[in-house]
C-alpha cells in the first residue's frame, strides 16, 4: 500500500477561486519546506504551469477523458512519489462532467484517488444559504469525502462569523478559511484563461503575495491534516504505458522540440514517452535564425504564436528550414499553435504574417473561440503517427480558424485542401474544416487536436520509428 497525503480543491463553478487557492496553498506549504506535488484536473497547460511554479515542482495533468481510467491512479502514484503532500486543483464545478451522469468530473476524479475534497465557495451576498449549498454538495453523490470548506470573497468579520456558524452547525462541515475580497486578480486573464507565466513579469512576487493571502486566512495545519487523513492507495496498479526502444543499430534518433515563448504547450508525459521509446530530445526555437543541430524528427506543440508574429516573420531562415525539412520527409508532428506555424500565414487583426508555408492554408485569429473542449477524432488516412482506424481522444484549445491561403495575385484565392488531405474525421469537436482535422503532407502531420501520450500509447513509438527510418535513409545516402 502507498501512503500519499493528498487533497482535491474544488469549486461550484469556474471563477470560484480554485486557482488562487491552489496557487496559494502550494506556495505557502512549499515555503515551509514541504515537498509539494501539484496536479491539475483537466487538459489545461497554463494553470498547470502556474501550479508548477508555485510548488517548485512540475504539475501533472490528470484528465479522466484523455487517459484510461486505470492510468489516473498509477500516474498519480508515480508523480507523487517522495512528496509530503499532493494538491489537485479541480476544474469547473465539482460535479460538472461530460454528461448528466457527471462522468469525468472533479468529484469522479476525487473518488478515483480516494482523496478528501476541500470546497471553495464564493460567499458574495450569501449567509445561511451557504450551509444549504455545502450540505447539498456533501450529499449529492455517494463516496464523496467533503472534508472542509474555504469561503471566498467574504465581506468582513461579521459576515465571516455568520457563514462559519451556519455551515459548521447546519451542514456539519468545517470551515478551514475565509478569503477576503481581492480588488484585482493578481494573475490577469485573457481569452484562454490565465496569462502565461512566460508572458508575465515578476512571477515570484505574485505567487508570494498569493501565498501570504492564503496563509493569513486559511488554516494550513488543518488542511495538511486533512491531506494526511487520506487512505493508502493500492500498489498493484498498471505501470506506465510500455514502449519499445529502437533497435540498437538504429541509433538514438534526435527529435527537436520547439520550446520557446511562442510554442510551449507540452504534457511532460508526451516528452517522457518519446524518451522511453528511444528518442533524444533536442530543444530548438522558431523565434530566431540560430542554427539547429541535425534532426531526425520535429515536434511543435501548442502555444501562442500570435503573440510573437513579428519574431517569427523576421526568422525567415528558420521558416525556410522547416519547410525544406518537411519537403525532405522529416517526421514532423504539430499541434494547434504548431499547426498555425506550419501554415502559409497567420492573420492577426487583418495583417497576414508569413509562417513556414508547409501547408497551403492560413489561420486567422478570432475574437471568439473556434474550438474549445474535448474531441474524438477517427484516423482515416495513412500517416507516420496514428494507425488508420484508431479513434483519438483529445482536446481543442484555439481561437484561430483555418482558411484558404492567400494567392500570389490580388483576388486570387487558392482552393482549400480537399477531404483527402486530412487524416482525421471529427466525431466530437470542430477540427480545421467541415469536421476534418489533421493535415498531412509527406511525413508531416498537423492538427488542432492535442493528444496525451498515455491515451495514445502508439504515438511515441511510431514517432520514434519514423525518426529512425528518416535517419537510416540519410545514412544510406552518405
Same domain, 81 and 184: yes
Report the pLDDT value the prediction gives residue 308, as an integer from 0 to 100: 94
Q: Answer yes or no: are the C-beta atoms of 399 and 192 closer than 8 Å.
A: yes
CA–CA dist 150, 220 (Å, integer):
11
- Based on the residue annotation, tell me whether 83 is a catalytic residue of this protein: no
Strand partners, 394: 375, 451
Beta-bridge mates of residue 204: none
For the purposes of burial, counting CB atoms within 10 Å of the CB of 382, is it exposed (0-12), middle (13-18) or buried (19 or more)?
exposed
Quick check: 291 pLDDT over 70? yes
Of 17-21, 240-244, 289-293, where does mean pLDDT reach its minimum?
A: 240-244
Q: Do 206 and 309 share a domain, yes or no? A: no
The answer, yes or no, to whether residue 162 has pLDDT greater than 90, is yes
CA angle 387, 389, 392 (to 5 degrees): 75
Mean of pLDDT values over 401-407: 80
Please write the tens of the pLDDT for every residue from 372-382.
Answer: 999 999 999 99
Query: Mean pLDDT in the chain?
Result: 92
166 shares its domain with 291: no
Residue-level pLDDT at 300: 99
- The pLDDT confidence band at residue 192, using thresholds 50, 70 and 90, is very low
Residues 51-74: tens digit of each pLDDT? 999 999 999 999 999 999 999 999
Domain for residue 114, yes or no?
yes
pLDDT digit string (tens) for 220-232?
Answer: 999 999 999 999 9
- Predicted pLDDT at 188: 63
Same domain? 223 vs 253: no
Is the pLDDT confidence value at 196 over 70?
no
Q: Is the pLDDT of residue 447 over 60?
A: yes
Pick from 167, 198, 228: which residue ends a domain?
228
Q: What is the dihedral of CA 399, 404, 407, 412, to 10 degrees?
A: -130
In a domain, residue 115? The reply is yes
85 lies in the same domain as 113: yes
In a domain, 445, yes or no: yes
- 391 in any annotated domain: yes
Residue 239's pLDDT band (cuts 50, 70, 90): low
What average pLDDT does range 346-360 have in this prediction?
95
- Considering the candidates 83, 336, 343, 468, report the single residue annotated as catalytic: 336
Per-residue pLDDT, 323:
98
Same domain, 262 and 182: no
Q: Do 173 and 314 fall within a single domain?
A: no
Locus of grid cell 470551515: 175
CATH (domain of 464): 3.40.50.880
The residue range of the domain holding 179 is: 6-228
Residue 381 domain-assigned (yes or no): yes
pLDDT band at 476 (very low <50, low <70, confident <90, very high): low
Strands 444-447 and 332-335: parallel
Q: Would you state the pLDDT for residue 191? A: 41
Residue 242 lies in a domain: no
Amino acid at each position: 500500500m502507498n501512503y500519499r497525503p493528498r487533497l482535491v480543491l474544488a469549486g461550484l463553478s469556474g471563477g470560484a477561486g480554485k486557482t488562487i487557492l491552489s496557487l496559494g496553498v502550494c506556495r505557502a506549504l512549499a515555503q515551509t519546506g514541504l515537498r509539494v506535488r501539484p496536479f491539475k484536473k483537466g487538459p489545461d497547460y497554463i494553470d498547470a504551469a502556474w501550479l508548477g511554479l508555485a510548488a517548485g515542482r512540475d504539475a501533472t495533468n490528470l484528465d479522466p477523458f484523455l487517459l484510461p481510467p486505470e492510468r489516473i491512479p498509477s500516474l498519480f502514484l508515480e508523480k507523487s512519489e517522495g512528496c509530503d503532500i499532493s494538491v489537485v486543483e479541480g476544474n469547473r464545478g465539482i460535479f460538472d462532467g461530460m454528461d448528466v451522469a457527471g462522468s469525468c468530473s472533479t468529484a469522479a476524479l476525487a473518488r478515483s484517488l480516494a482523496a478528501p475534497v476541500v470546497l471553495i465557495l464564493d460567499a458574495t451576498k450569501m449567509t445561511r444559504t451557504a450551509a444549504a449549498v455545502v450540505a447539498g454538495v456533501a450529499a449529492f453523490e455517494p463516496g464523496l469525502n467533503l472534508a472542509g470548506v474555504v469561503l471566498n470573497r467574504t465581506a468582513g468579520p461579521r459576515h465571516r462569523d455568520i457563514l462559519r456558524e451556519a455551515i459548521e452547525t447546519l451542514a456539519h462541515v468545517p470551515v478551514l478559511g475565509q478569503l477576503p475580497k481581492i480588488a484585482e486578480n493578481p494573475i490577469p486573464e485573457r481569452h484562454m484563461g490565465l496569462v502565461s507565466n512566460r508572458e508575465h513579469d515578476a512571477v515570484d512576487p505574485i505567487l508570494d503575495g498569493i501565498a501570504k493571502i492564503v496563509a493569513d486566512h486559511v488554516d494550513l495545519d488543518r488542511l495538511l491534516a486533512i491531506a494526511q487523513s487520506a487512505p493508502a492507495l493500492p500498489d498493484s496498479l498498471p505501470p506506465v504505458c510500455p514502449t519499445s526502444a529502437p533497435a540498437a543499430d538504429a541509433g538514438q534518433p534526435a527529435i527537436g522540440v520547439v520550446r520557446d515563448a511562442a510554442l510551449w504547450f507540452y504534457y511532460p508525459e508526451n516528452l517522457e514517452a518519446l524518451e522511453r521509446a528511444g528518442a533524444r530530445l533536442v530543444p530548438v526555437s522558431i523565434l530566431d535564425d540560430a542554427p539547429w543541430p541535425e534532426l531526425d524528427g520535429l515536434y511543435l506543440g501548442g502555444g501562442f504564436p500570435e503573440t510573437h508574429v513579428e519574431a517569427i516573420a523576421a526568422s525567415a531562415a528558420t521558416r525556410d528550414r522547416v519547410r525544406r525539412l518537411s519537403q525532405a520527409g522529416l517526421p514532423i508532428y504539430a499541434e494547434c499553435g504548431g499547426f498555425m506555424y506550419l501554415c502559409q500565414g497567420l492573420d492577426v487583426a487583418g495583417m497576414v504574417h508569413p509562417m513556414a508555408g508547409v501547408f497551403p492554408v492560413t489561420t486567422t485569429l478570432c475574437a471568439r473561440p473556434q474550438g474549445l473542449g474535448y474531441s474524438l477524432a477517427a484516423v482515416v488516412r495513412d500517416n507516420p503517427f496514428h494507425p488508420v482506424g484508431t479513434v483519438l481522444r483529445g482536446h481543442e484549445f484555439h481561437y484561430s480558424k483555418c482558411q484558404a491561403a492567400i494567392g500570389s495575385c490580388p483576388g486570387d484565392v487558392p482552393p482549400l485542401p480537399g477531404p483527402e488531405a486530412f487524416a482525421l474525421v471529427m466525431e466530437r469537436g470542430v477540427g480545421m474544416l467541415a469536421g476534418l482535422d489533421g493535415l498531412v503532407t509527406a511525413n508531416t502531420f498537423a492538427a488542432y487536436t492535442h493528444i496525451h501520450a498515455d491515451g495514445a500509447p502508439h504515438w511515441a513509438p511510431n514517432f520514434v520509428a519514423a525518426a529512425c527510418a528518416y535517419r537510416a535513409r540519410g545514412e544510406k545516402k552518405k
